[in-house]
Every structure is written in structure tokens, then in C-alpha cells.
Amino acid sequence: MKQLYVDLGRRAYDILIERGILKAAGQYMRPLLQGRKVAIVTDEIVEPFYGAAVIASLEEAGFQTKLIVLPPGEGSKTISMLETIYDALMDFDITRADTVMALGGGVIGDLAGFAAATILRGVAFVQIPTTLLAQVDSSVGGKVAVDLKAGKNLAGAFYQPKLVLIDPNCLDTLPSRVLADGMAEVIKYGAVFDEPMLRLLEQAGGLAGLRPHMEELLYRCCDWKRSVVVEDEQDQGSRMLLNFGHTLGHAYEVAYHYETYPHGQAVSAGMCKIARMQQQAGMLSSQEVQRFQNLVRLYELPTEIPCTMESYVHAILKDKKGRGDKITLILLEQLGKGVLAPMATADLVRWLQETELQEKQSKERPQEEAV
């Protein structure tokens, strides 16, 4: 078993990574939790795969359980679904000694976490993430939220779990599109912190070659996440490095109404766009940018998504990490080393315009020459 300790003092917790650990959930949770009740929040796709095994393990460890099964997908991350969870928790007569567990992807983790943070002013929370994105990113670090009409993740909290149990076997039932989506975050960790991990991903040759390396990758990603969360729990400094590619990625998500491009595809294109902007400004070599884009393609993710300047500007101005006329962009000093780059939003818009123009000209040039 691989183990990490997120050292946040009184809010510290372990991340345990092992194939099959889901079937031993009760055994790992029992010593950490006071109460006897665990409410398991999950979705209609995940529950048939893993619900029974988790319940059996919890009951064997002496817990009383209740399943709360929600429709899958981002559409469930709403205040009204939160109310459904609150009602189910009240029906279960949950007390402040009891526990809410998230069994699912990032949607379930964010939603169940927000319910755990707020019901009775906070009960214990355990994460069993079942998508790659949730295993390497959203289950660690305590960001919990629901979406509002005005945008994603706008009502939320920092609320750390008591335990994160990561079972790499869960990835075996994941549709390949969802797996590829999570790979965007893995590639992001490599780009920002860990050049050797980029090499490992290149050597694996794509999704099919990854299985033997999965535990190692999960461990390394969680370790990077652990280190930034411990250093900057409230997202005021180094944790922002995790946002590499996300500002422009958000522009693509919004421009296509969250329908055409899932989060990971949008982030991939966002990372590649920033890399090309840096190449245009002489900050990254063409070899580095080509290498990075080849890796993104290897994992079935896009390097470009068509987008208007209006959509870019809208996303930049709306960026949660922005402060009005300033924004903290994440750039790469080199592959494997991200840096925070505070800049005026007007400068970022100008830089994007210049890169757009240059990319348009270089796409037109060969055709002109052929005429």
C-alpha cells in the first residue's frame, strides 16, 4: 500500500492507495470515526459497481449505513441536490459524531463534501474517489462546492476529509473518455512539477500502456497535491500552480456551454495554448512546446479548441483567481517547472491577441505560397 500524510495539524489526514482498498474501507475508517453511522453519497453509475462492496465492508466494521444515490453528472452539483442530501441525512438521524462518505467522481466528492461541511455545522467526511480526476485532484485538499446559475463552484468551502481511500481498480470500469479527461490533470502535474513524470507518460505510450504505472502515478500526483495544500491550504499562493491551463480552459468550457468539451479536454487545450503563447514570446523553445503537445495528443486530448477573443476576454475577466484588472497566470519556466505570473489582464489579452494573429498567419501562409 502507498500512503501519504496531509499534514494540516488538527485537520491532518491520510491518503491510502491500494488495489482493492475499497473492500476494506470499514477497517480503515473505524479507528478514525466516533459515530456509528455512515451516509454514502454516490451516483447511479457508480453505485452498481461499488456500492455493495463498500456497504459490506462498513457493516462488517460495525457501521450502520445509508445509500444516497443521485443522478450522474455536473447537473447534480446544485443547491437543490444539496437539499435532497440534507433531507436524506435528516431521515437517517445523523448526528455530529457521524460521517458522510463520497463514493464517486469529482461531482459527488464536491457535492457530498459541501453537504458534510454544512449539515449540523459540519460532520466527518471520507472520500472514496472513483474517477482519475477525483483520485489525483479533487478528493485531496478540501475544496467542496456546488454550482450556481452564475457559474461553476461558486458556493463552496474548504473542508478537509478525515481520510481518502484510493482504489486504482475503480479506473478499470471508467469509460476511456472519462479516463482521458483525468489524464489532463496528470499531465498538468508533470508540466508544473515533475518532468520525469512526463517522461514516464511518454514511455507508457498512451492510455493502454498506463495500467502497470497507475499506482505510481496516483501516488506522485497526490504527493504534489499534498505538498501544495499543506503549503497553501487556502489557495493564496503555490496552490494556484494547479490552475495551469485552467483560465483558458474555462473560456473553452463556457464558449461551448460545458457541452462539447469536457473539463480535461478544455484544460489540455488551455495548457497547450499557454505553451504556444510562451513560445511566441521566446519563453519556451519550439522543441519543448512540440514535445508537450505530442504528449497531450498521445493521451487522446486536444491541443487546440477554436475560440473567439470575446470568449477569452470574458473568461479572463471572470476568473475566480483574478482581482479585477489583475490576474495570476500560471506559466512554465521549463517543462516540469511552473511559476506564478501576476499580470495585468489587459497585458494577457494583448498577448493572446498577438498569438492568435501569429497562429492565424502561420496557418494561412502555406496555402498562400501554394497559390
The residue from 43, 110, 137, 194 that contacts ligand GLY (CB under 6 A) is: 137
The neighbour count for residue 335, using CB atoms within 10 Å, is 22
235, interface contact from ligand NAD, ligand GLY, none, CB < 5-8 Å by kind: ligand GLY
174 binds, among ligand GLY, ligand NAD, none (CB under 5 to 8 A by kind): ligand NAD
For residue 361, the minimal CB distance to ligand GLY (Å) is 35
| Pick 37 or 239: Cβ nearer ligand GLY | 239
Contact between 26 and ligand GLY per CB under 6 A: no
Contacting range for ligand GLY; rule: CB under 6 A; set: 97-105, 174-182, 234-242, 329-337: 234-242
Angle at 49 between CA 263 and CA 15, to 5 degrees: 65
Smallest separation (angstroms) from ligand GLY to the CB of 80: 24
* Chain-centre distance for alpha carbon 74: 13
User: Shortest approach of ligand GLY to residue 241 CB, angstroms?
Assistant: 9
- Residue placing its CB nearer to ligand GLY in the complex, 235 or 288: 235
Grid coordinates representing 309?
477573443
To the nearest whole angstrom, how small is the minimum distance from the Cβ of residue 304 to ligand GLY?
23
Residues between 235 and 264 with contacts to ligand GLY, criterion CB under 6 A: 235, 239, 242
Min dist. Cβ of residue 38 to ligand NAD (A): 19
> Could you say which DSSP state residue 213 is in?
G
The Cα 240–Cα 339 span in angstroms is 9
Nearest to 99 by CA among 117, 81, 79: 117
Q: Is 233 in the site for ligand GLY (CB under 6 A)?
A: no
3-class state of residue 68 by DSSP: strand
Residue 330 and residue 312: Cα distance in Å, rounded? Answer: 16
Question: Which residues on neighbouring strands pair with residue 146, listed in sequence order?
Answer: 155
Q: How far is CA 110 from CA 12, 140, 172, 201, 291, in A?
A: 19, 11, 22, 28, 34
Q: Are 128 and 105 in contact (CB under 8 A)?
A: no
Pairing of strands 163-166, 13-17: parallel
Three cell numbers at 319?
476568473
**Beta carbon nearer to ligand GLY, 201 or 242:** 242
Taking CB within 5 to 8 Å according to partner kind, which of ligand NAD, ligand GLY, none is near residue 33? Answer: none
Closest to ligand GLY by CB, 42 vs 138, is: 138
Q: Which does 3 bind (CB under 5 to 8 A by kind): ligand NAD, ligand GLY, none?
A: none
Residue ranges that bind ligand GLY, judged by CB under 6 A: 137, 141, 143, 235, 239, 242
